Chains A and B, each alone.
Chain A
């Protein structure tokens, strides 16, 4: 279990993490989602005792990380795929880390096999692809068979097979009762992997809830309605908290009222409805909704760039 209380990190003028409090529970995959520069990595470095918080505290299984008797056996972390001296071989890198805790060579070989690095283990890390670097980082995180696993952007640079492998691995680790804390800026990946989601934007926690709740709760549930009397139905539905959008001539999108309520209104007023479809907001939409005010770097599409696209479309 990871517990952060009022965790703050200020670099000069800039507040990277502004007093966040959250709890990461054991036995499930907790996703840490936020745009680039939101404070995910800084938070994770503070958990690992690499950065000292400006204020607040964070504990792992009840104690600050540095206070643990055998840190590598308590928490394994992939903070950065490049936390390796690239002139050393993967095997020797893991061997040196293992030596600090008297972890046997057999375990080093085990994590190498587990992460599929068998063929390149005796090669210098210099020649590794980003994906292989990620696998080496995950191998290092698993070395001490820790109860708590922290992975910062583990699927970055992995091929599709690797992405699926990480997804299954973290789910398996959580099913063994371990605490798994996983960061990403890819909402689609989180939707498939995480059970619980902590969303961060500009150093503040925006949401902390089970993933299902975030999808349904934040993204407004909408209903697609087809009717041959759209104007009349719009008048009938117009009321407190209900908004109706005209999509096509006979197609409306209603939010603020569930399908049953819409059907009841239509039936009571003899309006024929020939489609009623509940629309589930995707996590992606929910995420955009959540972080739209918190994104640090907005992309701006120039009008010039969009002209050829339109021309091509027609």
Chain B
């Protein structure tokens, strides 16, 4: 037997590490790998934060129940909220942008790939640091996701968990900002030949508007966290009202735009799904693009509506800017409804989630207008009404958009189809769970249940509504379990080679990512799969229509 030639280099394609190994994954500058890492990390954290929520719902199912101590309960709601906002819904949205924007604009890669990878690592490290608070003697931070001083200072929250929370959120947000810059720069400067700004797909446009808000508003959070850190070193600072109310202004200058950062990419994913599964071009494209930009601009002027009850904000002004948001929001609904009214609907799993998004998010949006009205807000702010509102926006809305996106792009990302029947089961359980969990919370808040309470007295009459809500949470748990099993099972079958192979374009897509292979090659497009001519924001639809017209004109031989 002859000695085998040195083949070590061969399997690695000339790279220092083999491309399929874990080391290559975590050091890759391929935007697709960074995107998948970001999305997978946020999905794992989604499960963790979800179990915190289930624990809280278990505790609140009955009055005066103490399954967990008040200390732990306060940590759970803090880390649930912080985790979902800073480490799950926002990074997932940006991660989608990292994965999809270069593909949608026909670019071979992302701008500033190494910094993008750094952004991911800062985010992952931040999440770990925040969660590490649970391992400290005093437990994790316990002052809610907006952590107002003086409650969050070192006198009233002395534990190291609070310091870790500040450090973790700071790191993760820095990472998000870096990734946001990369996606924005890519969308603006890396577009392929013919891809004018008004030929950008709706999703890419939404990422541009999103990243504008990221770079415009997220630094305010870093400033707020910096203020908190200084105040923990010297709590005397927060004896003066100016820094307490100043913190709130800084925080909400970030805290409202981030709501739209957690909304636009999912809205746009829903829009893409609606258009593709309606078999037509997205309706009212230009109005939607304009409304996204108006929305992003206005988003930075509305923060004071979180402070109506402080007695230290100009309520009329913030009410004006907040209610003005109904105009761009209405335009987006016009486009979504218009798309399906003129469509030929196919009800695959992505479409189910996208369709449910429309009425469910609307409940969040309409109650948002109510909360933007000071005389209503005085009563319901800081109550379960707000909890219901924000979960309708972020869960009944964004999470449905998230799942629509997962079912829609899973074949492109992995090369295999995600289980269809499990998808439908996941969907129906999620619809039931979402509405049974969050609808009663509107009534609870209206009746006088404050948010962030670890228990309530039996005579207050909140018992059965809370029980109903907790029953709904069980449906949510079952639903997410079905989803997790579906994804893991499909991936397992992919490894075994028995999963259903995904074609390049399983749904009849409109945008450029469906023109390349599933999964896309390292540089996205190859001579076998070149970038098609970009003739509109739905180039693949144009191509199909040209072919049909050609066939109809008896010129079927034209490619």
B and A form one assembly: no
Which A residues contact B (CB, under 8 angstroms)?
A: none
